[in-house]
Amino acid sequence: MSKIKCIEMYHVRIPLDTPFYPSWIPGYPSIDNRFDLVRIITDSGVEGFSAGPAIASERKGLGYLIAPYLIDVDATDMKLIQQRLREVSYLGVRANWMEPAFWDIKGKLENKPVYELLGGKAEPVELYASTGEVKSPEARVEEVRQRYEEGFKSVKIRVHDFEIENDIRQVEAVAKAMGDKMKIGVDANQAWRVTIVSDAPLWDLDRAKKFADACADLGVAWLEEPLPMDAYEDQIALSAYSRVPISGGEIHTNGLPELKMMIERKCYNIFQPDAIMTGGIAQTMEVARLCREHHLIYTPHTWTNGIGFAVNLQMMLAGGFNGVKPLEYPLNPPSWIVEKRDGLLQEKFHHDHGMLHPPKKPGLGFEIDFKELKKYGKRFFRMGRIGLKIYAVRDKGLKTALEIDRNRKKYGVNANKK
């Protein structure tokens, strides 16, 4: 047993050299790689980390919600941890993005990478260069050519135009220029359409079918998220109709129950849950298993930040699908580059001619650069055992806080894992 003795949370902003214009949020450039980092400290001295992408200060109160559920719990009891994270989410903010931190601890305690704990083995991973911005056909061809020269054999481009003809024109230009050299995927980013600043195109089944036809004629390798995330009937119809494999499933925050239904109904041909956003490592492993059972492909989404990439890299090696479809490698120079994406990591995940050597370090395979964390991170929460007692008295009053403490001791914080 390795009990949780302290929880820390940091808001991290790693400034980009130049603004990044994500295709998925039109008109709303990012000026930094922004996320919240959780640091779980155990009695044994072993620490685990995970990170969730952030927009503003939306997790400011999360620590106060989560600490009473987790302090003193066995950090390696994955079933109990998952139960607690589920309980937290009922009335508060979702916290499944923290779950990988506990696998990090488990791996470090057993001196094994997480993928080994889960039955995977160390082997090179093929990557595809995942672009992030919408570009003109000419600029896109040039960008894809650069990725090819760097050694990538696959690339994913983004389309987000109101006119289908303009989207097709871009795919056509890239396919004609580079289609004989590279596999080309296309992401429509329709699953979680965002219109916070500017309007964004909204596809229906008819447009998705037309675009899928064009992609098939141009030899596209896969088409990602051409429909809203909960348009299940249309997804089923499209996946059955399309000559190009349809992929999706990166941000289904309900996790396994929803993805299980989608797998059984064959909403997509390729499932790409992100272990940071779709219920954590344990649930995503089950998604991979179900994909195998239903003869569908699993490959993780990775575009959040360097820690999210590291988590999903472990999933690729654990899920048994390495080599089936390349792993997403977010790269959009000059803004979204490896140094910024992996800014907090001591060793960055640099590719080697489109391949990645598997991390051998125990846990999630990275170490935090605390100097960088100090520079770019702001700690907004820290609570240990004494802090929890003080907080309970302030929050509930002495009499009730003592009563809760007695109940906790009587029941045992490591009980209830049904």
Residues that bind Mg ion (CB under 5 A): 187, 224
Q: What is the DSSP letter of 25?
A: S
Choice between 104 and 224, CB closer to Mg ion? 224
Choice between 143 and 187, CB closer to Mg ion? 187
Provide the phi-psi class of 110: left if phi over 0, else alpha when psi is between -120 and 50, else beta: alpha
d(CA 158, CA 201): 13
Give the closest residue to 121 by CA, choosing from 301, 386, 317, 393.
Answer: 317
H/E element, 36 = strand 30-42
What value does the CA radius of gyration of the chain take, rounded to a whole number of Å? 22
Cβ at position 301, least distance to Mg ion in Å? 6
Choice between 271 and 376, CB closer to Mg ion? 271
Cβ at position 300, least distance to Mg ion in Å? 11
Cβ at position 241, least distance to Mg ion in Å? 20
Give the closest residue to 380 by CA, choosing from 6, 7, 8, 4.
Answer: 8
* Residue least distant from Mg ion (Cβ): 187
d(CA 345, CA 418): 37
Choice between 84 and 301, CB closer to Mg ion? 301
Cβ at position 256, least distance to Mg ion in Å? 20
Choice between 48 and 185, CB closer to Mg ion? 185
Please report, as a single letter, which amino acid is at residue 338.
V
Cβ at position 339, least distance to Mg ion in Å? 23
Cβ at position 192, least distance to Mg ion in Å? 9
Cβ pair 227, 203 in contact under 8 A: yes
Please report, as a single letter, which amino acid is at residue 380.
F
Beta pairing, strands 125-130 & 327-330: parallel
Choice between 102 and 298, CB closer to Mg ion? 298
